[in-house]
Homo-oligomer: A and B are copies of this chain.
Amino acid sequence: MALRVGVVGGGQLARMMIAPAVELGVELRVLAEAEGMAASAAATAVGDYRDAETVVAFARDVDVLTFDHEHVPQEVLAALVDAGIPVRPGPGPLRFAQDKLAMRARLAELGMPQPDWAAVAGADDLGAFLAAHGGRAVVKTPRGGYDGKGVRVVRDPDDAADWFEAAQGAPLLVEELVDFSRELAQQVARRPSGQMRAYPVVETVQRDGVCAEVIAPAPHGGDRLSAVAASIGTAIAEGLDVTGMLAVEMFETTDERLLVNELAMRPHNSGHWSQEGAVTSQFEQHLRAVLDLPLGTAEPVAPWTVMVNILGGPEVGDIDGRFAGVMSEHPSAKIHTYGKASRPGRKVGHVNVSGFDLDDVAYEARAAASHFD
């Protein structure tokens, strides 16, 4: 009898669970938002993830329910738990992924290194924070932001006036604008029974607030960086009771500290390199973790892997011809497509290249992805 995993959300993260599910003999069932989404090959239902009845009906005969995104409302999560359906990650940890103020408060309790932050209810609070932080800060809406949306750099208390008005008295999150030398990400897998596996810390390169490229492992890091990043990742996974994959996005400051930026409780773009670059990909690992099966080795299979996102892709033109071009000129590039219609800036796929020389690997990955520019 095959184990059954239900996934809420039919995006590319659900899609990329299909391959390891087939190999492991896990039956994947996807509740997609609409027909024809990225994970349509495994979509067994289409429905609204905000509707408790829909989600509970979908989840009735799966062994565990997990997610392609963190947007399922707490009321729906509560209904699932009430119905006796194992939900991983659970409502408790998901609250910290859904609400950035709750996350900051919890990370502070755990003593995790993070940027200075505050909950601000209006221009006066924001003004005080700006005054104390050199006149610059980052304001974030606590809920609903992703890929740079819901994030704004401010220099004046009035710069967030529209957001304060929209929030109707609910506080916003303000954070110091960190003087960082680069951004890193740490993936950790955790099972309900407590076993964890930390992946090598990676460097992420963002463009316009969107992940453009990942280098695994992070160059120039050394054992100290790896150890500190892994200890932050495992402390958060444990402290927030995360099950499945956790991604911790971090700043490396110019004075070499690591500060936690964002969390994702699911496979994450910063872990796509692991599909070919690690013994156990984050997608296989997520399935194993949510099923409470023993975790696989998170070691890299090559000294370097570089992942480059395909953003936007061609709006018009012969996509098949472009694929053939990549395949012809970059026979070692691993192409992953999401089956999505192309739109400028939209993530429609990515390319992984692994090898021994970082310059060569990065060149190949960037050149392969550039066919889609």
A221 at the A/B interface (Cβ < 8 Å)? Answer: no
CB distance from A251 to the nearest CB of B (A): 31
Which residue of the partner chain, among B293, B327, B334, contacts A323 with CB atoms under 8 Å? Answer: B293
A83 at the A/B interface (Cβ < 8 Å)? Answer: no
CB distance from A12 to the nearest CB of B (A): 10
Q: Within A268-321, which residues are at the interface with B (CB < 8 Å)?
A: 275-276, 279-280, 288, 293-297, 299, 301-302, 319-320
- Whether A332 pairs with B24 at a CB distance below 8 angstroms is no
A107 at the A/B interface (Cβ < 8 Å)? Answer: no
- Whether A296 pairs with B332 at a CB distance below 8 angstroms is yes
- Whether A327 pairs with B15 at a CB distance below 8 angstroms is no
- Whether B3 pairs with A327 at a CB distance below 8 angstroms is no
- Which of the 9-residue segments A177-185, A208-216, A335-343 touches chain B? A335-343
Q: A25-B339, A301-B354, A339-B2 are known contacts. Are A327 and B19 too (CB-CB below 8 A)?
A: no
Chain B residues with CB below 8 A from A339, complex form: 2, 25
A231 at the A/B interface (Cβ < 8 Å)? Answer: no
A337 to B1 Cα, complex, angstroms: 12
Chain B residues with CB below 8 A from A354, complex form: 279, 301
Which residue of the partner chain, among B25, B297, B337, contacts A337 with CB atoms under 8 Å? Answer: B25
A41 at the A/B interface (Cβ < 8 Å)? Answer: yes
- Whether A294 pairs with B328 at a CB distance below 8 angstroms is yes
Q: A297-B332, A327-B296, A354-B301 are known contacts. Are A24 and B337 too (CB-CB below 8 A)?
A: yes
A92 at the A/B interface (Cβ < 8 Å)? Answer: no
A1, A23, A296, A328: most-surrounded residue (chain B CB, <10 A): A23
Q: A301-B301, A327-B288 are known contacts. Are A337 and B23 too (CB-CB below 8 A)?
A: yes
CB distance from A18 to the nearest CB of B (A): 5
- Whether B331 pairs with A297 at a CB distance below 8 angstroms is yes
A246 to B347 Cα, complex, angstroms: 36
CB distance from A151 to the nearest CB of B (A): 31
Chain B residues with CB below 8 A from A25, complex form: 323, 337-339, 349
A295 to B301 Cα, complex, angstroms: 22
**Chain A 1-38: CB-based contact to B (< 8 A → 1; otherwise 0):** 11100000000000110111011110000000000000
A296 to B19 Cα, complex, angstroms: 19
**Chain A 205-225: CB-based contact to B (< 8 A → 1; otherwise 0):** 000000000000000000000
- Whether A294 pairs with B332 at a CB distance below 8 angstroms is no
A324 at the A/B interface (Cβ < 8 Å)? Answer: yes
Q: Could you list 16 examples of A-B contacts with CB < 8 Å?
A: A1-B320, A16-B23, A18-B19, A19-B22, A24-B337, A25-B337, A25-B338, A41-B42, A279-B331, A279-B334, A288-B327, A293-B327, A295-B327, A295-B331, A296-B327, A301-B354
User: Which residues of A come within 8 Å of B, CB atoms?
Assistant: 1-3, 15-16, 18-20, 22-25, 41-42, 275-276, 279-280, 288, 293-297, 299, 301-302, 319-320, 323-324, 327-328, 331-332, 334-339, 349, 354
